[in-house]
Chains A and B, each alone.
Chain A
């Protein structure tokens, strides 16, 4: 979707402000927000891609005004409502009021540790051979889906070169809306900076993205 999250190339946000000796978390609620989202996401109540889609679905004025973990909290509230884990009354009361709608089996400490250690690989067996090879010239498609996509706006319509065949990976555009993993070949694509940012831009810049096969067409 063309939401506020897709901000590559926007102007006006000011300089980057590094913080010397930055702590991992800046408040206790940030730790809780992080861990709650991780723990509730692990048992596949929703997918990581669905969580990303929910975050970027925040209306742009809200999205741009929230801190990072503030956005996580607001998104978790929305997802708990959407997935029937809580009601508006419960969020307002700060307590469970309604009976549990889904049989819950919470993630244990051991399972959380395993999750951290093993992660969740996104490569899958390929349903068909890869269409493109390293060195192929491709266009990123001009597409504007209203649902989740990982093809940034700045790349759409531009010509690049396949640099690497990453593998066959879960397709986030499908996985975000729970229609299945729908794996597709994933490629690293290189664009000349001037192809995207114009003739006046820095000639020594190369831009790379990972793009799934449905994002690309052979030139």
Chain B
């Protein structure tokens, strides 16, 4: 694959279809700048600011853009609220659609056949693969990303975090908790 990729790059460069500086910008952006810390800030704000929380669940795109996160794979965003009664999980059965603007590029498992094939039919079984067990009567809402709309799961705020700042709370928000394959960390996990 290394050789095939280099061949494509060489041909496109020689023919003037590609500017190497543009490639560097794209790699640098998605390797270093855009990642799940963006989404964690959104979640932490929703945990502490009830007005923002309400805005986030009525107009996710605008509320998330107000924190500076938008653009590629983030032009149309919906936030999903996890509660004791409902747990949300996001998948793209057809390929790999994922909210880049708030989570960065998706992990390999999200794009893999096991996740894409099973999540939509057996979400509880997939949660077991991640070591997550929910009460039997908790509804599981699975969202298949079949359009340019992208989903961000807002996990439940962990107990015993009263008085924590947004910055402290953001440390508890994992990438997987914003996809729905995990829960937010508990204060015990970060001490």
> Which A residues form the contact surface with B (CB < 8 A)?
5-11, 13-19, 22, 24-29, 31-36, 38-40, 45, 52, 55-56, 64, 67-70, 73, 76-77, 80, 85-86, 90-91, 93-96, 100, 104, 106-109, 111-113, 115-123, 150-152, 154, 164, 166-167, 169-170, 172, 186, 188, 193, 196-197, 201-202, 204-212
Q: Does B72 contact A (CB under 8 A)?
A: yes
Chain B residue with Cβ nearest A205:
B140
- Compute the total of residue contacts between A and B using a CB distance below 8 Å: 275
Chain A residue with Cβ nearest B61:
A121
Chain B residue with Cβ nearest A43:
B17
Q: Do A28 and B144 touch across chains, with their CB atoms under 8 A apart? A: no
Known: A5-B95, A204-B139. A116 touches B72 (CB 8 A): yes
Known: A35-B27, A64-B113, A68-B111. A150 touches B130 (CB 8 A): no
Q: Does B84 contact A (CB under 8 A)?
A: no
> Which B residues form the contact surface with A (CB < 8 A)?
1-12, 14-19, 21-27, 29-31, 34-35, 70-76, 78, 91, 93-96, 101, 104-105, 107-109, 111-118, 120-124, 126, 129-130, 136-149, 176, 181
Q: Which residues of B contact A29 (CB under 8 A)?
A: 1-2, 5-6
Q: Do A123 and B76 touch across chains, with their CB atoms under 8 A apart? A: yes
Nearest CB of A to B75, in Å: 4
- Which residue of B21, B96, B118, B124 is within 8 Å of A202 (Cβ)? B124
Q: Do A8 and B120 touch across chains, with their CB atoms under 8 A apart? A: yes
Q: Which residues of A contact B112 (CB under 8 A)?
A: 13, 16-17
Q: Which residues of A contact B31 (CB under 8 A)?
A: 24-25, 31
Nearest CB of B to A111, in Å: 7
Q: Which residues of A contact B25 (CB under 8 A)?
A: 109, 112-113, 116
> 26 interchain pairs (CB within 8 A)?
A8-B94, A9-B93, A16-B109, A16-B112, A17-B114, A18-B107, A19-B108, A25-B31, A29-B6, A34-B26, A34-B105, A76-B8, A96-B14, A107-B19, A108-B21, A112-B23, A117-B71, A118-B71, A120-B72, A150-B94, A151-B146, A166-B147, A186-B149, A206-B140, A208-B142, A212-B147
Q: Do A70 and B1 touch across chains, with their CB atoms under 8 A apart? A: yes
Bound state CA distance, A109 and B10, in angstroms? 18
Bound state CA distance, A73 and B8, in angstroms? 8
Q: Name A's interface SS.
A: mixed
With contacts A28-B2, A119-B72 known, what are 14 further pairs, Cβ within 8 A?
A11-B117, A29-B6, A34-B105, A73-B8, A76-B8, A93-B7, A107-B18, A107-B22, A109-B22, A123-B76, A152-B93, A172-B147, A196-B121, A201-B121
Bound state CA distance, A55 and B74, in angstroms? 22
